Structure 1
């Protein structure tokens, strides 16, 4: 019987063990860095005697760490490909490209989120204890920023989308993947914005104050109405379509492209 050259769970387990044994020092250093950086926030607040009253006052630090740390970590996922010797060793290991990809994928998604949230919760407990000691009152532990009605849940969808983009960038760019992916994304957004502006200018020629008086793919401001300004907004149905595509279509497509980009590097 011919062996499965795409996915064998036993072989995947062996490769996962090998990868963790080969990279545990780097991952441990990264985990300790996350803990250390998150602990700096309550330490700074302790020194300045400025403890927050509720989670809403520190959630910005949480989101910044989530995005910056996660995207930076993801962009380093295939750093071995930057070196010819390490890249050859990585590609020639007796495991399928899918098994290598799924291992890195799990580490940069599930692994990072697990470690980051453990570190963030530890920092929160430390901050709360500091607040009790200094002010005889703890932090109001409310989780309102998780309320879907307030839109905060879409921050996590945005993170998943960006993480998929930077995973593709990690495979596509051998060196300086984080910076190159960031620049590439900015250029793509700029091109989309200019194309949208061109379409708006053609459709509303002479009726806009400036050709850039729009929010790309969302609304257009034109002359007219009581205050000489009419605002044309896309329908809720289109907004939901955008969200559906970003959440359930674009992300899997980016993961698939990243896998085939890795497969193309086969020697």
Structure 2
């Protein structure tokens, strides 16, 4: 059902209506639609990973299945991360093979770009999804019901708090950076540059493993 809704909207609203209504469009690309649907669809799917835990009766049945907590976590992680990436990317590629000729038939003057699931843009999208997907996996293991909006609200709230704390704690560094920027100097080697590099490194290498551990611990707590 999720696939039918997603690709139906892509075809009728993303393709047909765009071609008919936008007279100035000369090149139709699939990259932005792929990125949006892969990430949003994957986050929604991940939020439903442990949906049985939202109901007390179903929760007891699910937790009593003849499989360890690690096996339950691993199966859902594989399904919602690598499984979703491979399945959706392949399906989206097949979709573009059908959509492009139809679009060309509707408007022969428009050029339709072929979708490459191994392109730089697609691979970059996959990397971001692979890291951020773990956040919604944590929400699925800890929240009861309405996992997707609750996880989004938590992310926004934490982001605001962390952003304000960093702003006030690094205010002097930011002033120093502004002065250096006005003098056309480089940020390289400055404290704010080192902090940014550390944050980027933590995002790519620590966030996902941390979320996986928190998901596993959340399932262990439910079992108790």
TM-score, normalising length: structure 1: 0.69
Q: 1:258 aligns with which of 175, 192, 215?
A: 215
Is the contact made by 1:54 and 1:141 (CA closer than 8 Å) also made in structure 2? no
Aligned to 1:79: 51
Aligned to 1:178: 148
Distance 1:186 1:49, change over 3 A: closer
The answer to whether 1:156 aligns with 2:123 is no
Distance 1:70 1:224, change over 3 A: closer
- Unmatched 5+ residue regions in structure 2? none
How big is the shift at 1:35?
A: 2.9
Is the contact made by 1:78 and 1:174 (CA closer than 8 Å) also made in structure 2? no
Is the contact made by 1:54 and 1:142 (CA closer than 8 Å) also made in structure 2? no
Moved more, 235-244 or 172-181: 235-244
What is the aligned length?
219
The answer to whether 1:62 aligns with 2:34 is yes
- Tell me the distance in 2 between the aligned counterparts of 1:233 and 1:262: 44
Aligned to 2:200: 243
The answer to whether 1:113 aligns with 2:85 is yes
Q: Secondary structure at the match of 1:174?
A: coil
Distance 1:84 1:51, change over 3 A: farther
- Tell me the distance in 1 between the aligned counterparts of 2:182 and 2:194: 25
Is the contact made by 1:75 and 1:169 (CA closer than 8 Å) also made in structure 2? yes
Q: 2:119 aligns with which of 129, 142, 146?
A: 146
Q: Secondary structure at the match of 1:265?
A: helix
Bigger CA radius of gyration:
1
- Unmatched 5+ residue regions in structure 1? 1-28, 209-218
How big is the shift at 1:198?
A: 1.2
Is the contact made by 2:85 and 2:126 (CA closer than 8 Å) also made in structure 1? no
Aligned to 2:76: 104
Aligned to 2:100: 128
* Greater relative contact order (Cα < 8 A, sep 6+): 2
Q: 1:45 aligns with which of 6, 10, 18?
A: 18
Is the contact made by 2:131 and 2:204 (CA closer than 8 Å) also made in structure 1? yes
Q: Secondary structure at the match of 1:221?
A: helix
How big is the shift at 1:109?
A: 1.3
- Tell me the distance in 2 between the aligned counterparts of 1:115 and 1:177: 23
Is the contact made by 1:66 and 1:116 (CA closer than 8 Å) also made in structure 2? yes
Distance 1:32 1:245, change over 3 A: same
How big is the shift at 1:182?
A: 0.6
Distance 1:134 1:239, change over 3 A: same
Higher share in helix: 2
Q: Secondary structure at the match of 2:66?
A: coil
Distance 1:130 1:49, change over 3 A: farther
